[in-house]
Amino acid sequence: MRDDCLIVRVFCHPESVASYNLCEWDTLISQARRGDILARLYAVLQQNQLLVKVPESVAKHLISAWALAQKHERVLRWEVNRIQHALYATGIPIVLLKGAAYMMRDLPVARGRFYADIDIMVPKVSLPVVERALLIHGWLTAKTDDYDQRYYRKWMHEIPPMRHRRRQTVIDVHHHILPETTKAQPDAKKLFDASIPVSDDESLRTLMPADMVLHSATHLFYEGELDHGLRDLLDLHELFLIYGDDESFWMQLIERAKELELTRPLYYALRYTQRFLKTPIPKHRMQQVAAEGPNQLVLSLMDALYKRALVPVHSSCDIYLTGLARWLLYIRGHYLRMPLYLLIPHLVRKAVIKEKQDI
């Protein structure tokens, strides 16, 4: 638990804001802005009828962020409409992932969420057709470097991001939820088969709730760069709140995690939402998944790392060794996704390119 980190404390105990002085508000707003969750802070305060407790000089930042979130929602809904339009003639079903899925399902987790890009998943065999259709409708590949192109197409679970030439919006087209170089290889077909339509139109779909949670967990706990770690943990927290009342959800979630070889990320998701955000998780379910968790030694290390990294990248959130923890998780993220013989040349190349840009 990071009681010392204001933004974490507010999401656990929103009513604590009532006693904040202006200095504490100052820190809270900076942390939330840095974590890209300022509009989410607005949403949680509004939900708990706490907006009246916000000093006037502070409130304007929440209002401004909320206006921006509304804009993100409008843009996202329109982009989904445009993607549907572009792919309509192909008849290929589109599975919306992450934020786009939460929004189009009108889940409370979408409230005040910002979107950098839109993630969709299509069957791997359909990739050439999808890519061509998007190209015709104005999305161009955003990575023009040959190495990047090869890197994505050969090893990744997505093709290079595509940016719309006029609207500048970005789509990530996935064919899988993990890179092809990862040890765990959940069967993408199972995800497609279990996906559910958003409306009467069968072609626009999302993963089923258990898969949606597993994907969110996989995304966060295979990720090496945790700049948005707290935001992603909040996604999981809210998904557990939305579906957690239903006992059959938990059963399905655990079964599904085993089937897709994703029990480890699920375990971390349950552990850290409960520890950091006080998410209510049934005790016996926690124990059931803990049996699949890492040994005590690894677990202590992971606790120490995530305690430091699942907060915004802001000096007020840092404790001793935060920098080291972030670096180790960065290496871990890459290591999990790529064998060393591929990873080392890749990281060296990235470092050299960065050095060149700096000079």
Partner 1 sequence: MNISDLSQQDLKQQLGGSGIYLRTGPFVTHLQSKIPSVINNFAKLYANNSLLLGEGFADFHVRLATPRGLRHWYRPQVMFHFDDQVPFKPLPYQQAFPMMEWGLNWCISNHAHQYLILHSAVVEKNGFAVILPAPPGSGKSTLCAGLVSCGWRLLSDELGLISLDDLKLVPLARPINLKNESIKVIKQFAPQAIFSGEFADTSKGTVSLMQAPAESVAQSDQNVKPACIVIPRYTPGAATYLEPDSKGSMFMHVADSAFNYSLLGLTGFETLVKLIDSCDCYTFTYSKLQEAVEIFNQLAAVN
Binding site for partner 1 (CB under 8 A): 22-23, 25-26, 29-30, 33-34, 55, 57-58, 60-61, 63-65, 67-68, 70-71, 74, 313-315, 358-359
Tokens, residue 248 = 């059959």
User: How far apart are the C-alpha atoms of 10 and 8, rounded to whole Å?
Assistant: 5
Distance of CA 276 to the CA centre of its chain: 17
User: How far apart are the C-alpha atoms of 250 and 264, rounded to whole Å?
Assistant: 15
- In angstroms, how far apart are the furthest CA atoms of the chain? 57
Nearer to partner 1, 105 or 314 (CB): 314
**Shortest Å, Cβ 227 to partner 1:** 10
**Shortest Å, Cβ 25 to partner 1:** 6
3-state secondary structure of 96: strand
Nearer to partner 1, 22 or 116 (CB): 22
H-helix segments, 20-107: 22-34, 38-47, 56-87, 98-104
**Shortest Å, Cβ 309 to partner 1:** 15
Nearer to partner 1, 61 or 98 (CB): 61
Helix or strand holding residue 121 (H, E): strand 118-121
**Shortest Å, Cβ 65 to partner 1:** 8
**Shortest Å, Cβ 312 to partner 1:** 9
Nearer to partner 1, 55 or 280 (CB): 55
Nearer to partner 1, 261 or 318 (CB): 318
**Phi then psi dihedrals of residue 338, to 5 deg:** -145, 140
**Shortest Å, Cβ 21 to partner 1:** 9
**Phi then psi dihedrals of residue 277, to 5 deg:** -120, 5
67: number of Cβ within 10 Å = 11
User: How far apart are the C-alpha atoms of 338 and 322, rounded to whole Å?
Assistant: 24
User: How far apart are the C-alpha atoms of 333 and 343, rounded to whole Å?
Assistant: 11
User: How far apart are the C-alpha atoms of 76 and 198, rounded to whole Å?
Assistant: 15
**Shortest Å, Cβ 17 to partner 1:** 14
**Shortest Å, Cβ 27 to partner 1:** 10
Nearer to partner 1, 34 or 307 (CB): 34
User: How far apart are the C-alpha atoms of 274 and 193, rounded to whole Å?
Assistant: 31
Is the distance from CB of 186 to CB of 262 less than 8 angstroms? yes
111: number of Cβ within 10 Å = 20
